């Protein structure tokens, strides 16, 4: 007799439909996947669907079984979320969960929908999900810089990197704007504003390129030839040195993008040379959390001179690349007090050093 509480022998498969923006057809494709599976006799259901009133999406879901949503009262209204516990008990072979980057309502078991999906996968249930590329954590700074829009709901890149299959749902910016103008994405009263803000031809071209590029990075199965090109005999090891400053979150994202493309190890380190306030300790924890979201190692070096500590760590770690933030010190402060960046450059060799300018 098998123990019903025993963990599954294998983790569930995760298939993600990735697109450049709302309205490209990710959800319709995911629903088609569920329909095809059912046609093959597989127990496949809808776990959560966001139709946004779109006729194409409603039609694609017609007659497909949908699991009841969990109802959560909040400030006089009822919010509906994925019923993770119910689906775990129901145990379908496949479940479709829309909008991977969604933040769950207060009272949910998990704060983010991608965490719900991870729970289902851990239980051996296969999941089909959808995601827009601008919600990827490592692209947050790049999307903000290129489009002027800072995306608040974000997903750690590891969720996509660990997926079994990533399928890009592509459409030209002109076709997407045509769908928007025809009222197929948003209500008529929101169309003009959307066309002039987020859905401009320039923004869509940027997002499309990011989606295509990121998918190419993720699905690349052959070992990277970056080491041969660089002529190194060891695997690339990228060190990101962060200060206890919010702006250094972008350094971790930049390092993660480089590491993903080079198939390199990513290490994030911080030299703590003084005592911190509670707010600074909270920020340090945020830097650590983001690092771990990118599957990077996290190291805090206690005390000592910042430059000397970093140089020692670089040598011990066999670093091949170092990423630092731009110095905030004035020219006179650097002349009389020294520069951490210049000291590291002087005392290291064989390491590529990148100084990332402030985005402001």
Q: What is the DSSP string of 251-265?
A: HHHHHHHHHHHHT-E
Which pLDDT tens digit goes with each residue over 307-354? 889 988 888 888 888 999 887 654 544 444 447 777 888 887 778 888
Confidence of residue 240 (pLDDT cuts 50, 70, 90): very high
Domain boundaries, the chain: 14-219, 226-356
Confidence of residue 74 (pLDDT cuts 50, 70, 90): confident
Host H or E run for residue 313 = helix 306-317
What kind of architecture, by CATH, is found in domain 226-356?
Answer: 3-Layer(aba) Sandwich (3.40)
Token output for 18: 């990735």
**pLDDT exceeds 80 at position 271:** yes
Least confident of 158-172, 232-246, 259-273: 232-246
Q: Helices 201-219 and 140-147 meet at what angle, rounded to 10?
A: 160
Residues 6+ apart with CB under 8 A from 135: 100, 101, 151, 153, 154, 155
d(CA 119, CA 110): 9
Asked whether the domain spanning 226-356 has the same topology as the one spanning 14-219, the reply is yes
Which pLDDT tens digit goes with each residue over 94-142? 999 999 999 999 989 899 999 999 999 999 999 999 999 999 998 888 8
- 14-219 domain in CATH 3.40.50.300? yes
């Amino acid at each position: 007799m098998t123990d019903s509480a025993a963990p599954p022998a294998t983790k569930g498969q995760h298939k993600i439909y990735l697109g450049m923006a709302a309205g490209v057809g990710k959800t319709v494709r995911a629903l088609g996947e569920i329909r095809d599976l059912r046609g093959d006799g597989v127990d496949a259901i809808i776990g959560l669907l966001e139709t946004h009133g779109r006729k194409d999406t409603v039609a694609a879901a017609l007659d497909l079984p949908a699991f009841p949503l969990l109802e959560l009262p909040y400030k006089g209204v009822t919010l509906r979320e994925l019923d993770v516990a119910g689906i775990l008990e129901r145990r379908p072979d496949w479940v479709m969960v829309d909008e991977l980057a969604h933040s769950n309502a207060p009272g949910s078991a998990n704060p983010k929908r991608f965490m719900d999906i991870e729970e289902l996968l851990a239980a051996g249930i296969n999941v089909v999900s959808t995601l827009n590329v601008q919600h990827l954590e490592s692209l947050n700074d790049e999307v903000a810089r290129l489009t002027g829009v800072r995306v608040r709901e974000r997903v750690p890149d590891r969720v996509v990197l660990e997926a079994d299959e990533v399928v890009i749902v592509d459409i030209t910016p002109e076709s997407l704007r045509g769908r928007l103008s025809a009222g197929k994405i948003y209500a008529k009263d929101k169309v003009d504003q959307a066309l002039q803000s987020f859905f401009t031809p320039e923004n869509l071209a940027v997002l499309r390129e990011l989606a295509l590029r990121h998918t190419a990075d993720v699905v690349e199965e052959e070992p990277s030839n970056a080491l041969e090109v660089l002529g190194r005999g060891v695997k690339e090891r990228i060190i990101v040195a962060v200060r206890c400053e919010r702006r250094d979150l972008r350094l971790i994202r930049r390092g993660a993008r480089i590491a993903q493309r080079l198939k390199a190890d990513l290490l994030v380190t911080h030299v703590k040379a003084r005592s911190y306030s509670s707010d600074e300790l909270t920020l340090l924890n945020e830097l650590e959390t983001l690092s771990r979201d990118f599957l990077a190692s996290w190291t805090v070096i206690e005390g000592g001179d910042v430059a000397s500590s970093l140089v020692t760590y670089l040598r011990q770690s066999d670093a091949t690349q170092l990423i630092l933030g731009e110095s905030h010190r004035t020219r006179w402060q650097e002349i009389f007090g020294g520069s951490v960046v210049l000291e590291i450059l002087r005392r290291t060799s064989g390491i590529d050093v990148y100084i990332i300018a402030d985005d402001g």
